[in-house]
Structures are given as structure tokens and as C-alpha cells.
Structure 1
Amino acid sequence: MSTRTFRIIVRGFFDGLTAEQHAELLAAAPQHEVLRASFTAEGDLTYELAARNSFAFRFLDGGEAEEDILDATARAELAAEAWLTERGYGFKRLRSTAEDLSLAKQSKRQRRATVRGDA
């Protein structure tokens, strides 16, 4: 049973895309807009090709202890690399950030809802 929820973002840049790959990504871009993004176990991809060739995967994972965030981050990075490699997309400069939601501050409204049992 997971007691902690982790949100992980794996960022990077597409590298060496062919004209066909670039066109393919542009055609699918509306499905990968940042405003539609969510954190999922499978990873939700967003990217911006018009301004720069950057992308981000958003992952949701969990664990029992605070240290489990390291394993969750490694799984997220491997999943992002696998997704890109399976499709033949080159990439570079991967970096990750992770947040343990159990350690995140709650807003005043969230604290009230938790006390009342609404959350």
C-alpha cells in the first residue's frame, strides 16, 4: 500500500528529428498541449516545437518511504527514454524533478477540507 504520492517531471529536448518526425509531432501537437497535461502512471507527454524542441513527461508514482522517490524518478526517466526510443525520436539533456505530495504544503482551504473530512 502506497502512503506517499510522487509527481515527477522528466524534461528534455528532441534531437536530430527528421522532417517526417517533425511533421508527425506537429500533427499530433494539439493532443500534447501543456494546458491538457496531467500526471499519470503511464506518463503524459507535452511538447513545444514552435518555440523550441523541448518536451516534458508528467508521471505519477508512489512509495512507502521518502527515499522511494529516487526509484520512482529512475522509473520515470526510463519510461520516457523508452517511449522516445520506441518511436525513433532522438533526445538530449534529460533532467528530472520530483515532488513528494505528502511533504507539500496545503493551502488553508485544503487544510479545512481535510479537518472536516471533505478531502
Structure 2
Amino acid sequence: MSTRTFRITVRGVFDGLDADQRAELLARAEEHDVLRAAFTAEGHLSYDLAARPAFTFRFLDSGEEEEDILAATERAEEAARTWLSRRGYGYKSLRSQAEDLSQAPLGKRQRRAAARKFA
């Protein structure tokens, strides 16, 4: 069996932030900038609170079977909820999307490399 890599995106909206919470998020906005976004095992948070109250967590997980993506998605959602709750940040409209990279179509460079490999 080969290991499958999953990318899970958990999105939501901050809700009911008080002035201190908003100030804290704005102060840390640079480290959570979307331009620094990456899929990581611990999850990476990005947002632009000055533009809108939406946020995105990006998680990287793995499994052996195609069905393991469901458990990985649940873990990602729970990790996002835990991170937000521990800091007292209200949120709503939490939703997730997961992708099994073994099922993703090959890009142009990957197709060329694969063609050379078998030529």
C-alpha cells in the first residue's frame, strides 16, 4: 500500500470578536498573510481581517486508503475548532474541502517528466 497525501482546507468567518481580539488578530496579521499560506500538518491559518472577517486553515495529512480522507477532514476541522476556541475567537460557517493528491491531475511539467520516464 502506498501512502496518500491529503490537503484539507477549513474555511469560516470570525464572529463576535471584541476590540481586544480584533486588535490581537490585526497585530499578528503579517504571519497569517495569505501570501505565506502553506499546507502543514499542524495547520496554517490565513486571513485578511482588514478586508473581511473570513479565515482559512490549511492542513496536510495522510492515509493508506481512499476512505482515510474522511478521518483526516474530521481531524482538520477539530484542530481548527480547538485553535479558535482556545483563544476565545467566535466563528461561524465552518466548512471544509479535502483533496487526495494521488487523485489530482498532473500538471504540464509532471506530464512531461512522466513521458520522459517511460520513453
TM-score (norm 1): 0.92
Residue 99 of structure 2 is matched in structure 1 by 99
Residue 68 of structure 2 is matched in structure 1 by 68
Q: Deviations over 1:20-72 (max 9, x none)?
A: 00000000001101011100000000012112110000000001111111000
TM-score (norm 2): 0.92
Deviation above 2 Å: which 4+ runs of structure 1?
111-117
> Post-superposition shift, 1:116?
5.1
Gaps of 5+ in 2: none
> Post-superposition shift, 1:6?
0.3
User: What count of residue pairs does the alignment treat as equivalent?
Assistant: 117
Percent of pairs with identical residues: 70
Distance 1:24 1:115 in 2: 51
Gaps of 5+ in 1: none
SS class of match (2:60)? strand
CA root-mean-square deviation: 1.4
